[in-house]
Amino acid sequence: MERLQKVLAQAGVASRRKCEELILQGRVQVNGVTVRELGTKVDPGRDEIAVDGRVIRREELVYLLLYKPTGVITSLHDPQGRPVVTDLLCGVKQRVFPVGRLDYDTSGLLLLTNDGELANRVAHPSFEIDKVYRAWVKGVPSPEKLRQLAQGVLLADGLTAPGRARLLKADPLGRRALLELTIHEGRNQQVRRMCAAVGHPVESLKRIRLGFLTLDGLAPGQYRHLTPEELQRLKRELAMTSS
């Protein structure tokens, strides 16, 4: 027996958090009966589970690493008709969703999967998965500003968690600098807001690493499947015991 929201997420319906919302909204039925309790357990091999009346089937789990280019929305659809990350996937039959977000003007590493449990753990700051960014910023931050970025910056939604910040390159005239920032949270536009808060707005931003995963071998717009070895290592780091 498994929790209903986990079964829904593993069937590719949505992330586990979104599946919980669907249950609370009364949009999920088990054997024809609407279920609204998050603790409900089901047998995915025997119970008929439906969302908005459509029976779901558990999909093969898929794990993709995408090099997201700028000018693409991290979403499954966009009301304004702009390209979305799933437009870049060819031949992927499963309905995958992005893990976390990279904004329209940010490029770099993005995971996509239909494994809701893994997605939830990667995004949760308690597992402290490194999210490493390279940012060109205006001006050259002082050592004190770098310490502030690393120790925590007070934003409108609270103090950011400690991370790391280092100066990689600086314009001799002091006009711009390249920073490497490592964070563990996933707040909306967090790196951009942190840099702006210390007086060095971001000019361009790229995520180069997620945990041990990198963009090696990929060009913007390209993607690949995680290898079995990468998947097992990622699950170990996320304390996931299932295979």
Q: Does domain 63-125+212-237 have CATH number 3.30.70.580?
A: yes
Q: What's the CATH superfamily of 2-55?
A: RNA-binding S4 domain (3.10.290.10)
Domain ranges, ordered by start, for the chain: 2-55, 63-125+212-237, 130-210
Residues with Cβ < 8 Å from 133, sequence gap 6 or more? 108, 180, 181, 182, 183, 191, 205, 206, 207, 208
Measured distance CA(200)–CA(139) in Å, rounded: 6
Q: What mean pLDDT comes out for the span 89-114?
A: 92
Q: What is the pLDDT of residues 183-223, one digit of tens each?
A: 999 899 999 999 999 999 999 999 999 999 999 999 999 99
Q: Which of 43, 52, 78, 103 is catalytic?
A: 103
Phi, psi of 88 (to 5 degrees): -85, -5
- Asked if the domains 2-55 and 130-210 are classified in one and the same CATH topology, the answer is no
- Annotated catalytic residue 52: no
Q: What angle do CA 233, 149, 200 make, to 5 degrees?
A: 120
Taking Cα atoms as reference points, which of 118, 84, 109 lies closest to residue 12?
Answer: 118
**Mean predicted lDDT score pLDDT of the chain:** 92
Q: What is the DSSP letter of 126?
A: G
Phi, psi of 10 (to 5 degrees): -70, -20
Task: State residue 116's pLDDT score.
Answer: 79
Q: What is the DSSP letter of 162?
A: P
Judged against a pLDDT cut of 90, whether residue 1 lies above it is answered with no
Tokens of 18: 């979104």
Q: What is the pLDDT of residues 2-52, one digit of tens each?
A: 899 988 887 878 888 899 999 999 999 999 999 999 989 998 878 999 999
Topology of the domain comprising 130-210: Alpha-Beta Plaits (3.30.70)
Please give the share of the chain, as a percent, with pLDDT higher than 70: 99
Taking a C-beta distance cutoff of 8 angstroms, is the pair 80, 41 a contact?
no
